[in-house]
Structure 1
Amino acid sequence: MSECCVKGFKWDGTPKGHETSLSGNATYVTGSNKDVAILVIHDLFGWTFPNIRLLADAYAEEVNATVYVPDFFGGEVLSSEILRKNPSEWGPLDLAAFSARNSKEVRESEIISFANSLRSLHKRIGAVGFCYGGWAVFRLGAKKHENLVDCISTAHPSWLTKEEIQDVGVPVQIIAPEIDPVFTPELKEFSNRVIPSLGLPYDYQYFPGLEHAFAVRGNEDNQAERQGLERAKNAMVHWCKQWLHD
């Protein structure tokens, strides 16, 4: 993980959903569509971060879906107060240790188990991942997990590999800022070269001048970032509506 993965802004607003438990995971749930579900996989700030819940509320209303934001960090939450500080003021924050506790090897099985639980409850399922959640939605959409999800979307994914990109087997959308030290120009080029060759519906949205994390932690008071995060939200809504509704 890079410092960019824990920088950004907390948005104003009050989430509308409720907390419950599903598949052994504490989960934020919003919306009430019995047929259509969206699984949102959080960034490093976890399932309680207000921004991720506000986005979930928007998806529930605008896609007409039941949206789930599970805790995939085993109850650990990074404080949003980090966003108010410079890296030199982060104190004991150890990103390497946090990443090890929440590695792919540690968390993939429970993410797949959660998606399986949703498949038993809903007819159509989309998976949306931000930063940390980016690699996870590609794993859910892999050909070896056929029928686990019906489409995926990710904004500025982290930990994503070329192997995961070329293994995807469902309609895929990528929200890509210009400035991103983790979803690098090399990975952008690879995605745009390889995914179209897989015979899958593919939507690549490029955001010039914007940085990693803008779609979930952009500055609402900065016009360019606000326009970017709104465009990203609208693009994800349109993508999910297209593939989750007949």
Structure 2
Amino acid sequence: MASECCKTGFRWNGEPTGTETTVAKNKAYVTGTSKSVAIILIHDIFGWTFKNLRLLADHFAEEANATVYVPDLQVAPLFGGEIPATTEMMDDEEQRNKFDFAVFVQKHGKQVRWPEIEACAQALKSEFPKVGAIGYCYGAWACFKLAADPSLIDAVSVAHPSLLENNEIDGLKVPVQIVAPENDFVFTSELKEYSNKVIPTLGIPYEYVYFPGVSHGFAARGDVNDKVQKEALERAKRSAVNFFNEFLH
């Protein structure tokens, strides 16, 4: 059940306006012109080329006055013989069934991908006075790990995080925002309760933004033709923009 909701969603219309570059040896999508603020957008299982996330990066660049990077964590292409996560499987149940989330997590677990994410943050922190991070689903656990080290990051926002552990919540040291849907088999009610109990004791600014009537994945893969989902995903974007404008400027 938990892995199924990570594989479904909707693809958005529109064309990204950024370009491609490299950050700490990783390919990356980049958008925006700020010299003082950078934001790392850490992608979900669909990878750095997922158009929805590139469109979100464009919004953050313009509305939060930042240069936004979406580094390639090499989780979406065919890798080590596994069946890749492709956006086509959102519409194709047969493809979804072929994708083994457990194998994916084993091959792209935290110990595998964290060094790349840390290196990207270090590279941007050496260039920009302020650096924030936002992560969706698979990408959100990495934001929490970054948030344990103020020398790497200044503020993080996460939307419907997956693979999150209590000790990563315990270690937060910079301002944090959580975008939380009502229905989430991954960011469970227990994790929500733990977050809302522990984070207010850590002495950091904390914002918990609750979204009734929507499910895991809505902020990055919501259905723009559904009024409730469209309003929620737009509010999630605005919430992150406001958060970054407050803590990165």
Give the TM-score, by structure 2 length: 0.95
Structure 2: gaps of 5 or more residues: 78-83
Q: Which residue of 2 aligns with 1:46?
A: 47
Q: Which residue of 2 aligns with 1:230?
A: 234
Q: Secondary structure at the match of 1:121?
A: coil
- Give me the whole-angstrom Cα distance separating, in 2, the residues matched to 1:214 and 1:174: 13
1:109-146 per-residue CA deviation (whole Å, 9 max, x = no partner) reads: 1110110000111000000000001110000001xx23
- Give me the whole-angstrom Cα distance separating, in 2, the residues matched to 1:107 and 1:89: 25
Q: Secondary structure at the match of 2:28?
A: strand
Q: Secondary structure at the match of 1:73?
A: coil
- Computed over aligned residues only, the root mean square deviation of the Cα atoms, in angstroms, reads 1.2
Is this contact kept in 1: 2:29–2:70, CA < 8 A? yes
Q: Do structure 1's residue 121 and structure 2's residue 131 form an aligned pair?
A: no
Q: In structure 2, do the counterparts of structure 1 residues 24 and 179 end up closer, same or farther at CA, with 3 Å as the change threshold?
A: same
Question: Which residues in structure 2 correspond to 1:137-148 (within 5 Å)?
Answer: 137-142=143-148, 145-148=149-152
Q: Do structure 1's residue 219 and structure 2's residue 226 form an aligned pair?
A: no
1:82 to 64, 78, 89: 89
1:103 to 101, 109, 121: 109
Q: Do structure 1's residue 62 and structure 2's residue 63 form an aligned pair?
A: yes
- Give me the whole-angstrom Cα distance separating, in 1, the residues matched to 2:194 and 2:115: 27
In structure 2, what residue type is equivalent to 1:5? C
| Number of aligned residues | 242
Question: Which residues in structure 2 correspond to 1:163-242 (within 5 Å)?
Answer: 163-242=167-246
- Give me the whole-angstrom Cα distance separating, in 2, the residues matched to 1:187 and 1:75: 27
1:126-179 per-residue CA deviation (whole Å, 9 max, x = no partner) reads: 00000001110000001xx23210000000000001110011000000000010
In structure 1, what residue type is equivalent to 2:176? V
State the 1:72 CA deviation. 0.9
Q: Secondary structure at the match of 2:126?
A: helix
- Give me the whole-angstrom Cα distance separating, in 1, the residues matched to 2:137 and 2:216: 8
1:1-47 per-residue CA deviation (whole Å, 9 max, x = no partner) reads: 61101110000000000011121101000001011000000011010
- Give me the whole-angstrom Cα distance separating, in 2, the residues matched to 1:159 and 1:127: 17
- Give me the whole-angstrom Cα distance separating, in 2, the residues matched to 1:131 and 1:74: 13
Q: Do structure 1's residue 93 and structure 2's residue 99 form an aligned pair?
A: yes
- Give me the whole-angstrom Cα distance separating, in 2, the residues matched to 1:239 and 1:147: 19
Q: Percent identity?
A: 50
Q: In structure 2, do the counterparts of structure 1 residues 75 and 208 end up closer, same or farther at CA, with 3 Å as the change threshold?
A: closer
State the 1:93 CA deviation. 1.7
- Give me the whole-angstrom Cα distance separating, in 1, the residues matched to 2:75 and 2:97: 22
State the 1:91 CA deviation. 5.0
Q: Which residue of 2 aligns with 1:136?
A: 142
- Give me the whole-angstrom Cα distance separating, in 2, the residues matched to 1:5 and 1:94: 11
State the 1:78 CA deviation. 2.1
Q: In structure 2, do the counterparts of structure 1 residues 89 and 79 end up closer, same or farther at CA, with 3 Å as the change threshold?
A: closer
Give the TM-score, by structure 1 length: 0.96
In structure 2, what residue type is equivalent to 1:81? E
Q: In structure 2, do the counterparts of structure 1 residues 180 and 24 end up closer, same or farther at CA, with 3 Å as the change threshold?
A: same
In structure 2, what residue type is equivalent to 1:83? M
State the 1:85 CA deviation. 1.6
Is this contact kept in 1: 2:76–2:85, CA < 8 A? no
